[in-house]
Chain A
Amino acid sequence: MKNIIDVKNLSKSFDISSKKPGLKGTIAHFFNRKTKSLRVINDISFEIKEGEIVGFLGANGAGKTTILKILCGLIYPSQGSILVSGFLPFRRKDNFLKNITLIMGQKQQLIWDLPPIESFYLNAAIYDLDRFEAKKRIKKLSDMLEIDEELFIPVRKLSLGQRMKSELLAALIHEPNILFLDEPTLGLDINAQRNLRKFLKKYNKETNATICLTSHYMKDITSLCKRVICVHNGSISYDGKLDLLLNKLSPIKEILLVCRSEEDAIKLQNSGFSIKNKTKNEITIIVENKSITTSLKTILDNFDIEDLYINEPPVDEIIGKILIKKDYDI
């Protein structure tokens, strides 16, 4: 598969002004505004292949959204080279813009007082689609998104979930190859989040579109992205498979085994497994991820086990570590 996004040594600085508290600070800020240059993206390089779904992880202010906005051409880079689908994004050529879309969970493009269908036809005109083609695409996408009547209800009367689905439809009517999604599930309930993820997976499978995603909901990342790019203070701290990262950060699993008798539990305790704790016929062992299958087979073959539970540390907890750490050598 060929690279669709190619970023080399990208940096971006912004001029930021700060203000001291109080009236004195306000007056000083008004007459003599001091600005300093803040480097928000610091010499990053990465490539993304066609059809990949890549999650950008990082704490608030780490630079994820800035990277997405540079990739779609909204912000000029200060240094470095970027090629997206063979184009220099910041030139915003029509053929480039027809290839991409940006969906932001916290901002909307739909016309507030009108039903979403009006915004869809407006977008269709902007992307130079004839009415027949637009109608066909709206039908296809609304079937995929499972929306129908909502298309004819004013946006202001739709729920957040329905609105987000309509936003997606408006953003995808031109069938872009690259989707930039900035926290698309923000504020959605669990079912709406799941439906959105289901749709994105299906869209990616059917169209082979490349998806770059930022989200603070770890379920979005774990269920959609095989690859993640972790951003820390504007630099990339990890770029690779999500599984590998999780394995590196949490290489072990705890297995709670309920033995049929206490004798079995004692026998198991003395069989050489690393034991975390034991109470009567229940015993918790610690096993490395890579040997979990063989360990379980040995246990089930040699001991009388009534029940077992595998405890994985919560993904949120593991990812939380990423947000505060600078480097991961995997």
Chain B
Amino acid sequence: MNPRKYLKVYSKFLHTSLASELEYKTNILIDLITAILSLIGSIFLLSIFFQNNGSIGGWKFEEALIIQGIYTILNGITNTWFNPNLSEIVKHIREGTLDFVLLKPIDSQFFISFKKLNPSGFLEIMIGVCLLLFSIRINQINLNLIFLILSLITLICSICILYSLWFFISTTTIWFVKTWNATEVLRSFLYIGRFPLNSFSFSIRIFFSVFIPIAFITTIPSEVFLGISQLWQILLTVIVAIIFLVTSRKFWLFALRFYSSASS
């Protein structure tokens, strides 16, 4: 693998995606409005939950805002990279255009995971970062280097887990042909990540930690921000992220053996 070549190709991906998206200016504006309205809606919902109770599952409203901030950043990343690319896998496989990807001297997983980019997702990431910075301020969190490194590590792990899950489901298209519903179910589960996991019952918590690792995606990074997470939780997040990444990679390579291409 030649990193210089991959960087060059990625810069071309960025260039072509931006140029494609900028062809439709109105669409970008609509996406920005959607992102702002979605955030306002979520905060409004949270404020209703916390209206009568000072805390839910041990989380105060101000602390829950951190989860909301992380969720908004992740949702922005989803809309910037995962949605435009991973949703296309289904289309590539159904229509047989994966042929062009597989015949290029470049890693196919890299190609289909990063070829497109939706710049309007950046706006959501920025909104999320602003909300997170605001939450850090109102929660009077002391920023220091270790805190920042740990937060960044858990955030990167969240992104890896989310990507791997989505990629894994999309890969199953090679056998099942249509899996749009499955990725929609995954997105619906992720909405749950906007709320502190402690606010759910024990069984639901176990479900969202083991089967759909929502806990690792939003709750644990938020706990790192609040300084209430334990080291083993962070280590576990890293291990889970590595397992998910490796599994999704192996699964993709295995699935390609069964790719039969679409008929002409």
Once the chains bind, are A125 and B8 in contact (CB under 8 Å)? yes
Residues of B within 8 A of A118 (CB): 15-16, 19
Of B16, B24, B263, B264, which is within 8 A of A183 by CB?
A: B264
Interface size on B, residues (CB 8 A): 29
State the Cβ distance, B83 to closest chain A Cβ, in Å. Answer: 17
Residues of A within 8 A of B100 (CB): 102, 107, 109
Once the chains bind, are B105 and A74 in contact (CB under 8 Å)? no
State the Cβ distance, A9 to closest chain B Cβ, in Å. Answer: 21
Asked whether any CB of chain A lies closer than 8 Å to the CB of B104, the reply is yes
Asked whether any CB of chain A lies closer than 8 Å to the CB of B97, the reply is yes
Interface residues of A in 195-253 (CB under 8 A from B): none
State the Cβ distance, B138 to closest chain A Cβ, in Å. Answer: 43
Of A76, A97, A113, A154, which is within 8 A of B257 by CB?
A: A76
Once the chains bind, are A65 and B103 in contact (CB under 8 Å)? no
Asked whether any CB of chain B lies closer than 8 Å to the CB of A111, the reply is yes
Once the chains bind, are A154 and B23 in contact (CB under 8 Å)? yes
How far is A106 from B95 in the complex, measured between Cα atoms in Å? 10
State the Cβ distance, B38 to closest chain A Cβ, in Å. Answer: 26
Asked whether any CB of chain A lies closer than 8 Å to the CB of B5, the reply is yes
Once the chains bind, are A74 and B5 in contact (CB under 8 Å)? no
A125 with B5, Cβ < 8 A, contacts A97-B103, A107-B97 known? yes
Residues of B within 8 A of A125 (CB): 5, 8-9, 11-12
How far is A302 from B260 in the complex, measured between Cα atoms in Å? 65
How far is A98 from B106 in the complex, measured between Cα atoms in Å? 10
State the Cβ distance, A220 to closest chain B Cβ, in Å. Answer: 15
How far is A48 from B252 in the complex, measured between Cα atoms in Å? 33
Once the chains bind, are A128 and B20 in contact (CB under 8 Å)? no
Of A14, A73, A183, which is within 8 A of B260 by CB?
A: A14
State the Cβ distance, B107 to closest chain A Cβ, in Å. Answer: 10
**Nearest chain A residue, comparing its CB with the CB of B264:** A65
**Nearest chain B residue, comparing its CB with the CB of A110:** B100
Once the chains bind, are B95 and A107 in contact (CB under 8 Å)? yes
**Nearest chain A residue, comparing its CB with the CB of B20:** A113
Once the chains bind, are A104 and B5 in contact (CB under 8 Å)? no
Once the chains bind, are A69 and B105 in contact (CB under 8 Å)? no
Interface size on A, residues (CB 8 A): 37
State the Cβ distance, A137 to closest chain B Cβ, in Å. Answer: 16
Once the chains bind, are A113 and B2 in contact (CB under 8 Å)? no
Asked whether any CB of chain A lies closer than 8 Å to the CB of B84, the reply is no
Interface residues of A in 63-114 (CB under 8 A from B): 65, 69, 72-76, 92, 94-95, 97-98, 100-102, 104, 106-109, 111-114
Residues of A within 8 A of B263 (CB): 65
Of A65, A108, A119, A126, which is within 8 A of B104 by CB?
A: A126
How far is A125 from B238 in the complex, measured between Cα atoms in Å? 33
Asked whether any CB of chain A lies closer than 8 Å to the CB of B259, the reply is yes
Residues of B within 8 A of A108 (CB): 97
Of B20, B96, B259, which is within 8 A of A107 by CB?
A: B96
**Nearest chain B residue, comparing its CB with the CB of A15:** B260
Once the chains bind, are B19 and A126 in contact (CB under 8 Å)? no
Once the chains bind, are A69 and B99 in contact (CB under 8 Å)? yes
Asked whether any CB of chain A lies closer than 8 Å to the CB of B34, the reply is no
Asked whether any CB of chain A lies closer than 8 Å to the CB of B261, the reply is yes
Residues of B within 8 A of A113 (CB): 19-20, 23-24
Residues of B within 8 A of A111 (CB): 16, 20
Of B15, B102, B260, which is within 8 A of A92 by CB?
A: B102
Once the chains bind, are A98 and B105 in contact (CB under 8 Å)? yes
Once the chains bind, are A126 and B97 in contact (CB under 8 Å)? no
Once the chains bind, are A114 and B102 in contact (CB under 8 Å)? no
Contact string, B95-121, partner A, CB cutoff 8 A, digits 1/0? 111011011111000000000000000
Contact string, B1-38, partner A, CB cutoff 8 A, digits 1/0? 01001001101110110011001100000000000000
- Could you list 12 further interchain pairs (A-B, Cβ under 8 angstroms) beyond the known A97-B104, A125-B11? A14-B260, A74-B103, A102-B100, A102-B103, A107-B95, A107-B96, A112-B20, A113-B20, A125-B12, A126-B9, A126-B104, A128-B5
| For the complex of A and B, 7 pairs with smallest distance between CB atoms | A94-B105, A109-B100, A97-B105, A113-B20, A65-B264, A122-B12, A125-B12
Residues of B within 8 A of A (CB): 2, 5, 8-9, 11-13, 15-16, 19-20, 23-24, 95-97, 99-100, 102-106, 257, 259-261, 263-264
16 chain-A/chain-B pairs, Cβ below 8 angstroms: A65-B263, A72-B103, A74-B259, A74-B261, A98-B105, A102-B100, A102-B103, A107-B100, A113-B23, A114-B20, A122-B9, A122-B12, A123-B104, A125-B5, A154-B23, A182-B264
